[in-house]
Amino acid sequence: MTDVLLNTELKLERVHRGKVRDIYAVGERLLFVASDRLSAFDVVFDQGIPNKGRVLTHVSKFWVDALEGCRPYHLVTDKLGDMGLDAPPAELDGRSMLVEKLEMLPVECVIRGYLVGSGWKDYEATGAICGHVLPEGLQNGDRLPDPIFTPATKADVGDHDENVDFDHVVATVGGAVAEELRERSIAIFGEASARAQEQGLVLVDTKLEFGRRSDGTIVLGDEVLTPDSSRYWDAAEAEAAPRGETPPSFDKQIVRNYLETLDWNKQPPPPLLPAEIIARTAARYLELVERLTGAPLPLPS
């Protein structure tokens, strides 16, 4: 099944439409549906990546099952028949999660093991990332001495997340919660890095989100260690890459690289993507699933 799901219109109250996920109210719970929508440079495209939503859902479930540090997680069930929905469309299978309704904390918990992306840009400009002063002389793609917690603000669709320091998190959610977010995020990253290494992969960085139950319990939410929220490299390619250069990642970097060749101002409307770029990106997502889990992505018949 390779049809692309860009939008959902269910007979439920839709409470949010994000770059990728549509969220519906189901009683006291929420239905997360991961579409195949593609965003790049904070612009949502009119085309999607086949099975991308299923990849994100499958990888999240894989990690939550594999890592003790991911629990508690907000998932109630990912089985379509157990969600209490009235005749749910078959297209939701494999891309849906019924989850707890939490008070989501307004912090993106970013953990970096390597100096790349916006972290590299911040380091070039200031020698630091989110208040972490780093050794001099580092280059793009270098491994950091230890993984660091580099939080960011949550941005609306079309806006940019902004890197902030730990004091900002403390001021936002309080000291005890900020400490818990940092400790749990770094622990999850460490567990996942070791597991990825066993599969010949490098977990470069990731972004986690947490919410709070009514009793104050902090619960991991949203997607977990997916190719949309994380950067993975092939370990052998990373080892062979010249210092200052980074290997290709298992995500939509193929799309970003193509877009950089265009005369486009990175504002809507987005340009049309060639079929070859979409196919290569879809294959990259599927390759990560098989590398991580040891099996191809299960697809509905």
| Whether residue 160 is found in the same domain as residue 195 | yes
| pLDDT at residue 75 greater than cutoff 80 | yes
| pLDDT at residue 157 greater than cutoff 70 | no
| Whether residue 37 is found in the same domain as residue 110 | no
Structure tokens at 78: 């990912």
Q: Which residues fall within 8 angstroms of residue 276, CB to CB, at 6 or more apart?
A: none
Q: What is the CA radius of gyration of the chain?
A: 19
| Whether residue 220 is found in the same domain as residue 115 | yes
| Whether residue 24 is found in the same domain as residue 145 | no
Q: What is the distance between the alpha carbons of residues 83 and 89, in angstroms, rounded to a whole number?
A: 12
pLDDT of residue 159: 60
Q: Is residue 287 part of a domain?
A: no
Local confidence band at 1 (pLDDT 50, 70, 90 cut-offs): very low
Q: Is residue 75 part of a domain?
A: yes
Q: CATH number, domain at 108?
A: 3.30.470.20
Local confidence band at 156 (pLDDT 50, 70, 90 cut-offs): low
Q: Shortest CA distance to 182 belongs to which of 104, 73, 102, 109?
A: 109
Percentage above 90 pLDDT, the chain:
94
| Whether residue 77 is found in the same domain as residue 21 | yes
Domain total of the chain: 2
Q: Is residue 248 part of a domain?
A: no
Q: Is residue 269 part of a domain?
A: no
Percentage above 70 pLDDT, the chain:
97
Contact present, 166 and 131 (Cβ < 8 Å): yes
| pLDDT at residue 263 greater than cutoff 90 | yes
Amino acid identity of 104?
A: M
Domain end call among 101, 116, 148: 101
Structure tokens at 110: 């970013």
Q: Is residue 208 part of a domain?
A: yes
Q: Is residue 281 part of a domain?
A: no
Q: What is the distance between the alpha carbons of residues 85 and 10, in angstroms, rounded to a whole number?
A: 10
| pLDDT at residue 158 greater than cutoff 60 | no
| pLDDT at residue 275 greater than cutoff 80 | yes
| Whether residue 59 is found in the same domain as residue 109 | no
pLDDT of residue 60: 98
- Averaged pLDDT, 246-271: 96
| pLDDT at residue 105 greater than cutoff 70 | yes
Domain end call among 86, 101, 116: 101
Residues β-bridged to residue 237: none
pLDDT of residue 292: 97
Domain membership of residue 95 as a residue range: 1-101
| Whether residue 95 is found in the same domain as residue 118 | no
Q: What is the distance between the alpha carbons of residues 23 and 98, in angstroms, rounded to a whole number?
A: 10
Q: Is residue 261 part of a domain?
A: no
- Per-residue model confidence as pLDDT tens digits over 108-148: 999 999 999 999 999 999 999 999 999 999 999 999 999 99
- Averaged pLDDT, 262-284: 97
Q: Is residue 47 part of a domain?
A: yes
Domain end call among 240, 271, 294: 240
